[in-house]
Structure 1
């Protein structure tokens, strides 16, 4: 069996999520700051009359800040109501066989492995597959 994954970059690391979790991919737009929110929440955006919370993966994973550029995207998810992931670049969509996916180690690149459901090799690089349930857990 195979699954389609959306590949994207954050701090030169390659991550993936199932295409089933993606509603739409948008260019960066005005983000409205909201006081007293966790550091990794950049704020809110309004897309076609719907307000979405912008979840900054650079900040969530403890990477250094980076200015948005022409490659920056917001991946609007189906997974959580009105949530978007701010990423450095969306790369491609590809199909992976379930047998290619390996379990994620507990600690990956300084990021807790608890955020990942698995890893896969793509073009000689390791791709980390996000587990959205664990990523959005409130602790």
Structure 2
């Protein structure tokens, strides 16, 4: 039976998971510099290990209420094509292994999150984890805008 490992993070009270193979690094939150004319969900850019990377506010992307950053706020860094991109999350608490049998297909209605980026719903004990593909969160047009941001 196949098993996958996920990085679990929170946005508000909901738990989400992304395939650990897509995660380059999880770092502490750092203030970003706003970029003029960037899409609304792009919080700005940061200097991450000598490289300038765009930061996407996942709560804005999912139309969820914003929350003040705190000591638990994290930035999840992934490789998006040839560019690194950071995603702000409220908390990135753990990694979890899920068997294929513990993952259901995405329901038709999942509050606030577009179904195209949901790969399924993981079940672990009493928890439900919405599994998403961060690469699909952005449309091709949005990816192009981010790749071509003047930074």
Q: For the superposition of Structure 1 and Structure 2, which TM-score range results when normalised by the shorter chain?
A: over 0.9
Separation of aligned partners in 1, 2:104 and 2:139: 23
> How far did residue 27 of structure 1 move?
0.4
Cross-structure match for 1:70: 71
2:59 matches 1:58: yes
Correspondent of 2:128 among 126, 136, 139: 126
State the alpha-carbon separation in 2 of the partners of residues 78 and 37 from structure 1. Answer: 19
Match of 1:135 in 2: 137
Which aligned segments of 4 or more residues in structure 1 are displaced greater than 4 angstroms? none
1:100-122 Cα distance to aligned partner (Å, 9 max, x none): 11110122023222220111112
Contact 1:10/1:58 (<8 A) preserved:
yes
Gaps of 5+ in 1: none
| Mapping of residues 87-102 of structure 1, within 5 Å | 87-102=89-104
Does the CA contact (< 8 Å) of 2:102 and 2:124 recur in 1? no
1:120–1:128: 8 Å Cα contact kept in structure 2? yes
CA displacement at 1:79 relative to structure 2: 4.0
Question: Which structure 2 residues correspond to residues 17-36 of structure 1 after superposition, within 5 A?
Answer: 17-36=18-37
TM-score (norm 1): 0.93
Unaligned runs of 5+ in 2: 142-151
Count of aligned pairs:
139
1:85 paired residue number: 87
Whether the 8 Å CA contact 2:45–2:52 is kept in 1: the answer is yes
TM-score (norm 2): 0.86
CA RMSD of aligned residues (A): 1.4
Cα separation, 1, equivalents of 2:37 and 2:29:
23
